[in-house]
Amino acid sequence: MAYVSPIFEVPPYLNPDARELLRLLKSQNKLLGIVCNTGITPGTELRRFLAMQGVGDYFDLMIFSDEVGIRKPDRRIFNMVARGLRVKPHEIVHIGDNLKSDAWGAKNAGLGAIHLSGSAGRDKMAESDPKSLVSLSRNLGNLKLERTAPDRAVASLAMVREAMRELENTC
């Protein structure tokens, strides 16, 4: 499986704030899940990568598009998360860096949404190529920008804690 080995040869960027945020959320007894649109690398290998990075055990649920046959922003994949965590969609806050797939997808499925708008770890080269999967996934198509508005936007994962606190106080 030659297409799988690159993730281990040249590992993707793991946000330096990820471990601390995951540790903090787990210490608050939050249920944590991943819902991920996969590309070439299948979910089985992404699980292995996350385990090797020491963050896999933080998650109560991992859903990868190649395993369920549905991609974000389809509301059904977000509903799978709610069912898998045994909570109502409105009890979930989805954090993601893609306005269409993450913010609009989550909001359309009844979840809260925090948009990670910072550039750390983003593949600017892929985003600038209109034929790349990254660029295509970020294309809003017929969605208006205002329809993709998240509940909060943060420039870094370090800011998520405060954004979540603000959201909890508005409920």
Looking at residue 40, what is its pLDDT?
Answer: 83
- What tens digit of pLDDT does each residue of 39-90 get? 888 999 999 999 999 999 999 999 999 999 999 999 999 999 999 999 999 9
Q: Which domains does the chain have, with CATH numbers?
A: 15-170 (3.40.50.1000)
> Is it the case that residue 117 has pLDDT exceeding 80?
yes
Residue 160 makes CB contacts below 8 A (sequence gap 6+) with 21, 95, 114, 116, 154
- E strands present in the chain: 33-36, 61-64, 93-96, 112-116, 152-154
> Is it the case that residue 120 has pLDDT exceeding 90?
no
Give the single-character DSSP code of 141. T
What is d(CA 143, CA 165) in angstroms, rounded to the nearest whole number?
A: 29
> Is it the case that residue 33 has pLDDT exceeding 90?
yes
Mean predicted lDDT score pLDDT of the chain? 85
Q: Looking at per-residue confidence, does 132 or 33 come out higher?
A: 33
Dihedral through CA 157, CA 163, CA 164, CA 165, nearest 10? 130
Give helix 18-27 / helix 160-170 axis angle, nearest 10°.
40
Looking at residue 136, what is its pLDDT?
Answer: 52
pTM: 0.82
